[in-house]
Structure 1
Amino acid sequence: MESKIDWNGLALTTLAQYNVNATQLVFLGHSENVTFCVDTRNNQNFATSGEYDQQALFLLRIHYPIAQFCDRIWQQHAVIESELIWLIALHQDTHLVVPYPVQNLSGSFITSVAVDDISETLNCTLLKWVDGSPLDTEPTPIQARQIGELMAQLHQHTSLWELPSGLTRPKYDWEQLHASLIKLRSLVDAGTISVTDFAVLESALVRISNVMTALKKTRTNWGLIHADLNENNYIFYAGEARAIDFSCCGFGYYLYDIAHTLLHLFPENRRSFLSGYQSVCQLPDGYQSILEAFFLGAMVNNFAFLALQPNEHDYLLETVPYVNESFCSKYLKGEAFLFES
């Protein structure tokens, strides 16, 4: 079905509803959204230019996920609008550089476009480009600290922000984690995950559920989180860490947000990240044991996402036993593992 859609043509149709004169349109990718870089500069080539003018570049998102992002909630108008409301608030209330939504000619931040090929109307958004470059290696300890500071600033904002009425985003809670476990169970019958390994994951998640349900949701530990601040979604500009791609943001524990990012850092950089975080926001007593629970929870969520992609099943076949041996077994024995090499 997706191959029938002329994404480039749809992008041009969408841009006609904005006061933006595109000189070049560059397809970036298709995951939770179809994305394009919109270049409005004259006589410059996006593909070869090393300098990106934030005022002249835009990010166009067509909110139509690939099959792996099968939950239609991400396409809903209210859910998309809520993400944009937070981005606007971050822009107005902080010094953080974040993607900023652009209004269309009708004054709306969301543009709906009818697509005959799929008999649907898709929601589209246009954001100002955030200048910066991704890292092509593991962050240095200094960079890891900066990423920690960045996340803490995001949490600091949402902990103080008066949420507008009707703000709607998915939740990263026990129900969501349980849904991930159900997705993984389907791989047991397929032989991708052994019965024994699934039993270990399930035992770990029972303990994680106890941790989650015991934590009361307060303004100091629960709020809007980025939920996907990994090496693809933080960039650096003039030595400053910046967050991009808030598409997966939702309500969750701040410690879960931290744990999700720690998944992508070496143990020594995890310490640097937390040092940077604590320079802005204080962590609660006993945070390490909670972080380890959420670290495994984030890993299971990632496995569930990969379970929907057949080309990733060989990776899961090798990785799940390793994770059980290296992390889950220690967690079930009460042994710390988060900062071990």
Structure 2
Amino acid sequence: MESKIDWNSLALAVLAQYNVSAARLVFLGHSENLTFRIDTRDAENCKSFLLRIHHPIAQFRDRIWQQHAVIESELAWLTALHQDTDLVVPYPVQNLNGTFVTSVAIDHTSETLNCTLLNWVDGSPLDTEPTPTQAWRVGELMARLHQHASLWELPIGFTRPKYDCEQLYISLMELRSLVDTGTISITDFAVLETVVQRIAQVMTALEKTRQSWGLIHADLNENNYIFHAGEARAIDFSCCGFGYYLYDIASTLKHLMPGNRTSFVNGYQSVCQLPNEYQNMLEAFFIGATIDNFAFLALQPNEHNYLSQDIPYVTAKLCSRYLKGEPFLFKSR
């Protein structure tokens, strides 16, 4: 289907259902969604938007993420964040029918694609490792997202995927298929299997309360936070779902050096206090988030060479230390 679609024409067809006059469409990329920046032509009120066509690259992610109700729920949270807080987020724009999700038919087929338009968030991504102050700001940002999630009453019908024990075991099964192809050794898979069982025990023991479990961004890495006048801003909530707040923290810590991990946690705790034994739980979720990411990459054949190199490192350097009870998260490797 990819080669048969004129994405620019489709984008213009979507925009026709909004009160937006596009002066320029700038293609941004295609991964979980196909995205464009839309620059308006009104010189007196120049404004940009983000257009998302919810059609992933083949095998990129389970189709549940493209379902109307799931997308609508993401946008409901973004709307609430915009209305309830002073956080700058990419909140959605209503179409001419007064709804947030626009379905567009693909020419010469019976298939439709869900599309959304969001307000553009000004800011710049980092091209280097964050400074300790920047890491602190990102930690503070995540805490404020969690703080809102813990207080917000979910609308009826709200539905997003979960990052829980079941998902972790699904990720493990995705990786099992790479044993047959020789991408992962039987020995390394056995280590992953053991560590998943241990992490599942940690998850089971951690009670799901409003202080520990709720809506999380789930992908707040260097590609999905930007800075504007020193302020950290979160973008791309496409992966948001229900999970432990500690899982969300650990997912971001994967992308930070040990010193900055401490700064991030300090920034987080300036808003929300973590439990006393947070380091042990964070290390479990750190490896769990790593395994979930491995499973995500396993769906992309061009990433298999990377997996064949990185999985042995993770099992030898991180999983082995975790299983022995040796702290690793805030120490240099």
TM-score, normalised via structure 1 length: 0.95
Looking at structure 1, the residues matched to 174 and 271 of structure 2 have their Cα atoms a distance apart, in angstroms, of 37
**2:277 counterpart letter in structure 1:** G
Q: Which runs of 5+ in 2 are unaligned?
A: none
Tell me if structure 1 keeps the 8 A contact 2:39–2:46. no
- 1:1-341 aligned at under 5 Å gives the runs 1-41=1-41, 56-116=47-107, 119-341=110-332
Q: Which runs of 5+ in 1 are unaligned?
A: 44-52
Tell me if structure 2 keeps the 8 A contact 1:19–1:105. yes
Q: SS at 1:101's partner residue?
A: coil
* Closer, same or farther: CA 310–88 of 1 in aligned 2, 3 Å: same
Q: SS at 2:112's partner residue?
A: strand
How far off its partner does 1:55 sit? 5.7
Tell me if structure 2 keeps the 8 A contact 1:55–1:128. no
**CA deviation string 1:203-225 (max 9, x = no partner):** 11110011111111100000000
Looking at structure 1, the residues matched to 29 and 187 of structure 2 have their Cα atoms a distance apart, in angstroms, of 37
Looking at structure 2, the residues matched to 267 and 223 of structure 1 have their Cα atoms a distance apart, in angstroms, of 26
**1:80 counterpart letter in structure 2:** I
How far off its partner does 1:313 sit? 1.0
TM-score, normalised via structure 2 length: 0.97
Identity rate, percent: 76
Looking at structure 2, the residues matched to 254 and 240 of structure 1 have their Cα atoms a distance apart, in angstroms, of 22
Tell me if structure 2 keeps the 8 A contact 1:99–1:127. yes
Looking at structure 1, the residues matched to 161 and 272 of structure 2 have their Cα atoms a distance apart, in angstroms, of 24
List structure 1 runs of 4+ shifted beyond 2 angstroms: 116-119
**CA deviation string 1:178-210 (max 9, x = no partner):** 111001001101001000011011111110011
Tell me if structure 1 keeps the 8 A contact 2:33–2:54. yes
How far off its partner does 1:121 sit? 1.1
Looking at structure 2, the residues matched to 2 and 177 of structure 1 have their Cα atoms a distance apart, in angstroms, of 31
Looking at structure 1, the residues matched to 152 and 300 of structure 2 have their Cα atoms a distance apart, in angstroms, of 37
Q: SS at 2:94's partner residue?
A: coil
Looking at structure 1, the residues matched to 45 and 74 of structure 2 have their Cα atoms a distance apart, in angstroms, of 21
**1:3 counterpart letter in structure 2:** S
How far off its partner does 1:338 sit? 0.4
**CA deviation string 1:159-188 (max 9, x = no partner):** 011111111000000111111100100110
**1:4 counterpart letter in structure 2:** K
How far off its partner does 1:70 sit? 3.6
Looking at structure 2, the residues matched to 210 and 149 of structure 1 have their Cα atoms a distance apart, in angstroms, of 29
Tell me if structure 1 keeps the 8 A contact 2:66–2:114. yes
Tell me if structure 2 keeps the 8 A contact 1:68–1:305. no
Tell me if structure 2 keeps the 8 A contact 1:25–1:36. yes
* Closer, same or farther: CA 122–133 of 1 in aligned 2, 3 Å: same
Tell me if structure 1 keeps the 8 A contact 2:32–2:61. no
Tell me if structure 1 keeps the 8 A contact 2:61–2:296. no
